[in-house]
Amino acid sequence: MNTTVAERLATVRSEIDEACRLVGRDPAEVRMLPVSKHHPTERIREAHAAGYRLFGENRLQEMAAKHAELAGLDIGFAVIGHVQTNKAKLVAELAEELHSLDSLRLAEALQRRLDALGRRLPVLVQVNTSGEPAKSGIAPEEAVGFARELGRFDALEPRGLMTMAVNSPVEQDVTDCFDRLVAAQARIRDEVGGGWDDLSMGMSGDYRLAVAHGATTVRPGTAVFGPREY
Ligand SMILES: *Cc1c(COP(=O)(O)O)cnc(C)c1O
């Protein structure tokens, strides 16, 4: 891409704002979490200079390395990928948010580590709204029970729900995923209690649709940082 990170951030942000206006939402309700996974810290520095401070990462070793490289800057990381229970320590130590809480075992491990550190961690529960076996997350029908159980873990602050929609050219299939997340949130609010405000949904290919369907956090990676090199 010929454009700079700052320019792409501005483009994505203005498209989020436009998507809000189209459905009568206030753009201030939607935050953008740029996903920096597989991109060097130089790109994160550029985004930071453009006013962003929280970045999405899905691999903990990579997050830890970047955290060390960027020490001294006011930069934080949101973990957006599946976390193995034996990696809870890194999340407890380094993450500012976890968007991919998907088991009570992980909740337990995090609680133990956070207690030891005297920290609390904002968490979003990942819901598998597409039913694809390759995707992490609890089933939508489990959301209420899971939310209830989370009440036991006082080091975890439930902030909302996260999903990855199916990658499909059929718009309806994508928006069905977003609508299932919204419905799960409504059931939790009805049956467990208020809060759970954050709906983290929408990636580079579908963030405008996600905003139209109620996203409060969108997670563009490629649209901001360009293609990832593996
Ligand atoms: C990689 C990733 C993204 C960003 O994907 P793009 O298609 O590059 O925007 C968003 N959310 C999650 C959970 C991811 O793993």
Domain annotation covers residue 74: yes
Q: Is the CB of 222 under 6 A from ligand 1?
A: yes
User: What are the tokens at 201?
Assistant: 């949904």
Residue to probe by mutation, ligand 1, list 101, 124, 125, 219, most atoms within 8 Å of CB: 219
Instruction: Provide the β-strand partners of residue 158.
Output: 123
135 DSSP assignment? S
For the CA of 205, the closest atom of ligand 1 is 7
Domain annotation covers residue 99: yes
Give distance in angstroms: CA of 34 to centre of ligand 1: 9
Helix (H, G, I), strand (E, B) or coil at 119: coil
**How far is residue 5's CA from residue 192's CA, in Å, rounded to a whole number?**
41
pLDDT at 74: 98
State the total domains in the chain: 1
Concatenated DSSP letters for 17-74? Answer: HHHHHHTT--GGG-EE--B-TTS-HHHHHHHHHTT--EEEES-HHHHHHHHHHTTTS-
pTM > 0.95: yes or no: yes
**CATH code, domain carrying 161:** 3.20.20.10
Q: How far is CA 69 from CA 21, 42, 149, in A?
A: 38, 10, 37
pLDDT at 1: 58
For the CA of 99, the closest atom of ligand 1 is 13
Domain annotation covers residue 230: no
Q: Is the CB of 81 under 6 A from ligand 1?
A: yes
Torsion sign across C-alpha atoms 48, 51, 53, 54: negative
Residue nearest to atom 6 of ligand 1 (CA): 221
pLDDT at 142: 98
pLDDT at 2: 72
pLDDT at 229: 78
What percentage of the chain's residues is helix, strand, coil (to nearest 5)?
45, 15, 40
Q: What is the mean pLDDT of each run of 10 residues along the chain (230 residues)?
A: 91 98 98 98 98 98 98 98 98 98 98 98 98 97 98 98 98 98 98 96 98 98 92
133 CB-near residues (< 8 Å, 6+ apart): none
Domain annotation covers residue 85: yes
Q: Could you tell me the residue range of the domain that residue 158 belongs to?
A: 5-225
